[in-house]
Amino acid sequence: MQLINKHILITGGTSGIGLKIIEKLYPQNIVYVIARNATKIDALRQRFPKLKAYHADLANSISLYNAIKTLQSDTKTLDILINNAAIQHANQLTDKHCSVDAMHEEISVNFATICSLCFWCLPMLASQQTSIILNVNSGLGLVPKGSSAVYCATKSALNSFSLSLRHQLTDTSVKVLQAFLPMVKTPMTEGRGSNKISADSAASAIIKGIENLTLDNDIGKVKLLRILSRLSPSMALRIMRKY
C-alpha cells in the first residue's frame, strides 16, 4: 500500500514513536491524532498546521467517544487506524505503591480503548476499498517479563484480540496488522532497560510493515524472541523472568 493521500488516525502522537510516525506520514497524508496531553496537542498543532488533533482521556470511554464523534464530523473517510498509545506502570503487585487504579488505567489505555476504537472506526474503515487497523504491540505480548504483569497481560490480550478480529474481518476490506516492538527509547521506558532501538527506527519499521501489509511485523529482537518461544517456551520464560 502506498501511504499517499491517506486519512490516518493515530493515538498517542504527541511524543515517542507516535510523534515519529506523524513526522514521516504528515507530508503526504491527512493525519488525525487523539491524545490526552492538551499542552502537547497545542504544540503538535503549531508544528503541523494541517493536522487535526483531538483531546481525550484515553482511559475514559466517554471522553474517547466524544473525540471520535468530533472526528466523524470532520471527515467521513478513514483509511488507517494506528492504535499506538500505551502506558506502563513498572509495578509489581507486591510493591507497597502498587494500586488498583493504576492497573485499571493500564488495562483501559492498552486494551479496552483499542477495542472501542476498532468498533467505533470500523464503519469508516470498511467503506474504503482497502483499509488497515494497525495495533502497536510488544514482544511482551508473546512472552511476559517478570515485572509489569498487568502491562504484559494487556499486550497478550491485544495479540489475541487482533488475531480474532482478523478472522472476523476476513471477508471485508479491512486488514488487521500488528507491529511487535522490542524495547524502544521513549519517555515511557526512561530509566528502564538497555540496548533500546530509537523511536525513529521503530516508526520506520512500523510504516514499512503497513506498506507491505505485514500481518505480524516482528521488529528487532522480537524476531528472535518469537523463534525462541516456539522452539523452547520454557527457556523464553526463564530468560524474560529476570526483566
Class level of CATH domain 7-241: alpha beta
pTM: 0.94
pLDDT digits (tens, 9 = 90+) for 159-199: 999 999 999 999 999 999 999 999 998 776 766 666 789 99
Query: How confident is the prediction for the chain on average, in pLDDT?
Result: 94
pLDDT of residue 59: 94
Helix (H) or strand (E) holding 55: strand 52-55
- What phi, psi does 177 have (nearest 5°)? -115, 160
| Residue 111, amino acid | F
Give the pairing type, strands 174-181 and 131-138.
parallel
C-alpha cell at 195: 540496548
Q: What is the mean pLDDT of residues 212-227?
A: 96
Please choose, from the candidates 158, 54, 52, the residue with its C-alpha nearest in 3D space to the C-alpha of residue 114: 158
Q: Where are the domains of the chain?
A: 7-241
Residue 26, pLDDT above cutoff 80: yes
Asked if 209 and 217 touch (Cβ cutoff 8 Å), the reply is yes
Does residue 4 sit in helix, strand or coil? coil
pLDDT digits (tens, 9 = 90+) for 79-123: 999 999 999 987 788 888 889 999 999 999 999 999 999 999 999
Longest dimension (CA), the chain: 52
